Structure 1
C-alpha cells in the first residue's frame, strides 16, 4: 500500500513517499520515511516487503558511501542506478531475492541535468520523466501523462504533485498519512513542507 512518486522537472527531481508503514490493513507507523540520501545530490526512494526494503536501502547507502571514501569520487546517479540494478538482478538468482522497488533521483553536475531512474525488483532499470511504484501508478499516470511537460519548473512540478496526491486521497481506500516530499537539485537534497 506504499506510495512512491517521482517527477523530473527542468532543474530538479521531486520524490514523494507515503508516511504510513502498513501491514495488510493495519497502519504500523504514521511517520515512516521511505527514502535514503545516497550522496549529496542523489536520493533513493523504496517500497516492497518491510524487512527487505530497510535492509536493502542501508546496504546500498553504505556501499555508495564506501566507494566514495575509497575512490575519493562521488558516484553519479547513473552509476548508482546501475549498481542498484545489478544488486537486485544478482539477488534475483539467489535463494532469498530482495522484493524491493526503487526510484533514484539525482542531479548530474557534469551535464547539469536531473535524472530519475525507475528500478523494479526484477532488476529493470529505465530513466523516465516521471515514475511511480505501488498503487500510486494506477491512479496518477493519467494525470502525469496529461499535464507533464519536460520544461516545467520545480514549482510547477510541485503543483502537479499536489494534483496527484489529491487524486490518491480521493480514490484510495486507505489513509496513507500524507507524504514526505524531497527535492534534488543543483544545491543538493532538501525536504519540502507539503
Structure 2
C-alpha cells in the first residue's frame, strides 16, 4: 500500500512518502525513508519492489555524483530526469526495475521542477504527481485544492489533507509519512507525520528469559 506524491509550489517542490517496509501481509518497518537526496538540490521519491527501489535509486545517486565529480558541474534536474529515464528504458529490455519515481529539484535558471517517471520509462514534467494506491485519493485532492504559486504553508496543508484521506480511506493504510522539500536553499527534510513509532526489539532479560 505504498503512497508517494509531490507538488510544485512558489519557488519550491514538496514531496511526501509513506515509510512502511512491507512484504505480503508482514510489516517489517514503519520508518523506512523512501525519499533519497540525489545532491544538494535534488530529491528522488520512489515506490516499488524494495530491492529494485533501493538498488536503482542508489545507482542513480552515485552516477549523478560521478558526473559532477568528472565535470565539475552538477546535472540539471531535467538532465537527471532524462538520465534516469534512459537507465529505466535500457533495463526494460533486459531486466526491468519495478520502480516508479518522482524526481524533484531546483535550478537557478529554471526554478523548481517535478518529473514523473514510471517503471516503463515514461517521463513527464508535472506540477503534481503521485504513485501507489494512495494516488487515487491524492490526485483527486490535488485536482480540487492545488493551484499554481502555492506557499509552503498551503502546500503542507494540502499534503496533510492527502495523508488524512489516505489513512481514512485505505483498508491497509500506512501509518507514517515523511515530507521533504527542495528550494533555492537546498533539499532537506521538512517533517514526519507519525501515528506509529518503531520500538527497539525487547531484550531477553526484559522478557524474563
Q: How does 1:50-69 map to 2 (within 5 A)?
A: 50-69=50-69
Match of 2:150 in 1: 152
Match of 1:101 in 2: 100
TM-score of the pair, normalised by structure 1: 0.96
Report how many aligned residue pairs link the two structures: 192
The 2-side partners of 1:99 and 1:122 are apart by: 8
1:163 lines up with 2:161 in the alignment: yes
| 2:101–2:118 contact (8 Å) kept in structure 1 | yes
> For structure 2, which runs of at least 5 residues remain unmatched after alignment?
193-209
After TM superposition, give the deviation of residue 175 of structure 1 in Å: 3.6
> For structure 1, which runs of at least 5 residues remain unmatched after alignment?
none
Match of 2:172 in 1: 174
Give the secondary structure class of the aligned counterpart of 2:140. helix
Match of 1:25 in 2: 25
CA displacement 1:93-129 (0-9 Å, x = unmatched): 11x2111100000011112x21000000000000111
- Give the aligned CA root-mean-square deviation in angstroms: 0.9
Match of 2:184 in 1: 186
The 2-side partners of 1:23 and 1:138 are apart by: 22
Match of 2:85 in 1: 85
Match of 2:14 in 1: 14
TM-score of the pair, normalised by structure 2: 0.90
The 1-side partners of 2:4 and 2:42 are apart by: 16
After TM superposition, give the deviation of residue 36 of structure 1 in Å: 1.2
